[in-house]
Amino acid sequence: MINFTISRRKWLLFKDRQSFALPTSYGEMTLKQFLEYPQHTQSPSALIAFLAQCPHRLDADAFAPLLSFLEAPLNLEDFPADPDHFDLKRKTFGQKIEAHKALKNDSTMRGVEAVLSVYYTDDVVPNWCLADALPRYFAIVGQLQHVLKVEEANLTTPPTAEQIRAGVEEFSKLGYFNTIDDLAQGKPWHYDDILNTEYIVIYNKLLKMKISANFGERYAAIMREKK
């Protein structure tokens, strides 16, 4: 990051000094700058003024070499996940649902902002530099992908032939609503309570429900054999 100051004479005796900063790498750019800078590439001076948020005329020849990093594409491998900064299991079930939806809807850099905004204040995320935003995003995505795999392995049960014939796939149209409604025992006024509960609590409850259901089926089968 290059910091510079511009002085402007104000009235007769005083000078107005303003400080600006110009990013010199992708990591120093804010998420907002990265998303919007393509709209300001009509000239070097326009791009420099946008990135430095400077309303004054600047010497493009002096600053342009500092932006040579933009000639190469952003390398996401330069921003590894920061798993120590985030624990999805301790966030709410509702946030996990919204993050999953945001990730499915948009996996571009615009989607990065959407996913982060699920867990962090909307007006803060755009002003994060990529060196902070991307490691947090990849931590969320990595943990989200992990819990989805765990759910698939531990919480799902393949439908029986009879269930398939009866049209059980119709429930898939409801997505997460099936889980929310089951946990709320069909009572809509409890939906918010479910969504605001920590994900790990919801996961453990769903796992217990599956274990109990499997146990009930096996026990019933054993008792039928004894008759």
pLDDT, mean of residues 13-42: 81
Q: Where are the alpha helices (DSSP H) in 28-129?
A: 31-36, 44-52, 60-63, 93-105, 109-119
pLDDT of residue 16: 58
Question: In whole angstroms, what is the distance from residue 67 CA to residue 63 CA?
Answer: 7
pLDDT surpassing 50 at residue 12: no
pLDDT of residue 49: 81
The pTM of the full predicted model, rounded to 2 decimals, is: 0.83
**Contact (Cβ atoms closer than 8 angstroms) between residue 110 and residue 31:** no
Question: In whole angstroms, what is the distance from residue 107 CA to residue 71 CA?
Answer: 23
List the beta bridge partners of residue 16. Answer: 8
pLDDT of residue 17: 64
pLDDT surpassing 50 at residue 167: yes
pLDDT of residue 11: 44
Question: In whole angstroms, what is the distance from residue 210 CA to residue 40 CA?
Answer: 55
pLDDT, mean of residues 123-139: 92
pLDDT of residue 109: 87
**Contact (Cβ atoms closer than 8 angstroms) between residue 24 and residue 1:** yes
Band (163; pLDDT cuts 50, 70, 90) = confident
